[in-house]
Structure 1
Amino acid sequence: MTDSNSRISISVTNKRAFIWEVDDIAVIRSKYRICGILTGTLPHVSQQNVFLGVPLSLMPEEVVLLVENESAVLVDDPNAYPEPSLEQITEWDSARLESIQKQLNITESLKHASSLNTRSMSEEAIRKRRERKQRKTIPAEETEPSLKMSMSGHPVHSIVIPASSSSTKWYSPGTCTYASIDSAKAAGIWDYPSNLHERAKCGVFRSLWEQGYFMGGGIKFGGDYLVYPGDPMRYHSHFTATVIDSPLSALQPMEIVAHGRLGTATKKAHLICCWDDKKKEVTLMSIEWGGFG
């Protein structure tokens, strides 16, 4: 059994799961083939639409898979911050004021550098104007080529990014960390899966993941998941997967036609994934649109 201290910490807030540590995000992607979705805003790139920053938001199925495989633990994030002592608050406030003063000093130094640079550029412009006047009075054959020097008028700015919450001295997740789904449910911080459909989604997700695929949300393509043969940063998805709660569930002919046509239109095959809750098995059927006549 894996030691819980060596597992990845998944912070749970309002029954939603997040990973805040960049190293952990890299590990679950490279080692466990779990991608999640980055939901944070990066500094200086406030409106990016593809590459976002921490935290990483996980689908419930990804959380269940990681915890059941003993690769992660769930942390009740709101309760992981006990009330700090007066001494800790004073120390934190002093560090905050010191950080503010440091930023003010950096800003003042940048303004001073910018002012000197602007003055230097003005002197350079005056010198060039004087040289142009001299060239007008000197024959062209007597002039020598002058070396033009480019100067940047924009000082280099720096941004100080605060450390993650795990570095806070009064962050104490030890008393609210859960190594299993059942214990997290008993504590009231997690409730997935709670019904047949959610169990079916977890079963289908695990079945496809165990076959070596990367998984992502498939709502934009008319299914529950997108199924990738490799990392989504390198590959397009080959399948769109729809979860059916039972092998005996009714499937309308129009649904089959819709899945087939949509899959073909998006250059994918559509997977119908039937979950057998008694046998804990998944049956897969692939639908592709075929031309007739």
Structure 2
Amino acid sequence: MIDLCYQNNKACVFSAADWETLRKQYRIVGSFLGSTQVTPALPLVLLPEEVCLLVNKQLARIIHYPHLQDLPTEHDISEYSAIQNHLLQAEQDIYKENRKCDLEKIIDKIVEGKMKKSNATTNVKTREEILEEELNKSCEVTNETMVWPILYESVKSTQGTPTEVPLAEILQQTTPTKCAVYADLWEKGYYITPGLKFGGDFLVYSGDPAIFHAIFIIRCIEEPSSNNHTSEIVTFGRLGTSVKKRAVLASLINGSVMYITLNWLET
């Protein structure tokens, strides 16, 4: 059973092992909240529809740690600063050593170039001085540029006993139609991610999104019997064609998920 940590109205995964299980075994992608400058990192936040699927299939439970909402104390801030400084110093040392190995392979050429540029052999710095100078120029690692390692510790070990969150709390963030559409697509073997950037609710992939492009843009229609403006449907269909994906309208009718694919034909 995977624990989904519910904080600030988001269901998150902090364990790398759980993230791997969700991705490889259950085709649950989620979105990374953390970042090491340019590299996504844990925690992973899940869509409400992903959470509903996992809970309904008894693959996960939603838990809440009240102490995670506590503001950091002066001791916490001091401890964090000490860890950051330790990591920064270690990274500076490692980077400088690696850079030194690279420079030593070409230092003779650098020295020769500096001597030619000065047009003299006197008052030229020694090989060791030039090496140190080059190291100092290219080995500046700061708090802003350092790469944080992915460190994590089980939340259970530090935050006491959690309380279980009812699924109804998550259902407030979505709709029965979206949950049904997501579950139906998942049962068909697809990978699903948010589709907002393409004007839909979901993007659907035939394989892992790290390897495959999306093939469908899904827009959920909550009230299929209501009048949907023609211009919106036309725009959505043209959008799908322009990004080389099938635009699909999905609705929940009498307990079954129904799909309509929009095709744009040039005349």
User: Which of 35, 44, 48 is residue 41 of structure 1 equivalent to?
Assistant: 35
Q: 1:125 to 1:209 in 2, by over 3 A?
A: same
Give the structure 1 partner of residue 235 of structure 2: 258
**1:222 CA displacement:** 1.3
The one-letter code sitting in structure 2 at the alignment partner of 1:31 is: Q
> Is the Cα contact below 8 Å between 1:241 and 1:272 reproduced in 2?
yes
Give the structure 1 partner of residue 41 of structure 2: 53
1:205 partner SS: helix
**1:260 CA displacement:** 1.4
1:291 and 2:266 matched? yes
**1:176 CA displacement:** 1.1
1:23 and 2:1 matched? no
1:68 and 2:56 matched? yes
1:11 and 2:13 matched? no
- 1:134-213 map, 5 Å: 153=135, 161=149, 163-166=151-154, 169-172=157-160, 174-178=161-165, 181=167, 185=168, 191-194=169-172, 198-213=175-190
Q: TM-score under structure 1 normalisation?
A: 0.65
> Is the Cα contact below 8 Å between 1:81 and 1:171 reproduced in 2?
no
1:249 partner SS: coil
**1:255 CA displacement:** 2.3
Structure 1 residues 6-41: Cα deviation after superposition (integer angstroms, max 9, x where no partner): x11111112111111111111111111111111211
Q: 1:80 to 1:160 in 2, by over 3 A?
A: closer
> Is the Cα contact below 8 Å between 2:66 and 2:162 reproduced in 1?
no
**1:159 CA displacement:** 7.4
Separation in 1 of the partners of 2:85 and 2:238? Answer: 62
Q: Once the two structures are aligned, what percentage of the paired residues are identical?
A: 27
Give the structure 2 partner of residue 87 of structure 1: none
1:219 and 2:196 matched? yes
Structure 1 residues 118-143: Cα deviation after superposition (integer angstroms, max 9, x where no partner): xx979x969x98xxx99xxxxxxxxx
Q: 1:78 to 1:265 in 2, by over 3 A?
A: same
**1:239 CA displacement:** 0.8
Name stretches of at least 5 consecutive residues in structure 1 with no aligned partner: 1-6, 83-89, 135-150, 186-190
**1:263 CA displacement:** 0.9
Q: RMSD between aligned alpha carbons?
A: 4.3
Give the structure 2 partner of residue 246 of structure 1: 223
1:204 partner SS: helix
Structure 1 residues 177-218: Cα deviation after superposition (integer angstroms, max 9, x where no partner): 34x51xxx4xxxxx23238x7111111111111111111111
The one-letter code sitting in structure 2 at the alignment partner of 1:8 is: I
> Is the Cα contact below 8 Å between 2:6 and 2:63 reproduced in 1?
yes
Larger Rg: 1
1:255 partner SS: helix
Separation in 2 of the partners of 1:256 and 1:160? Answer: 45
Separation in 2 of the partners of 1:285 and 1:256? Answer: 11
Give the structure 2 partner of residue 281 of structure 1: 256
Name stretches of at least 5 consecutive residues in structure 2 with no aligned partner: 122-130
Separation in 2 of the partners of 1:203 and 1:112? Answer: 54
Aligned residues: 240
1:34 partner SS: coil
Q: 1:110 to 1:252 in 2, by over 3 A?
A: closer
Q: TM-score under structure 2 normalisation?
A: 0.71
**1:169 CA displacement:** 3.9
Q: 1:37 to 1:259 in 2, by over 3 A?
A: same
**1:272 CA displacement:** 0.7
Q: 1:21 to 1:242 in 2, by over 3 A?
A: same
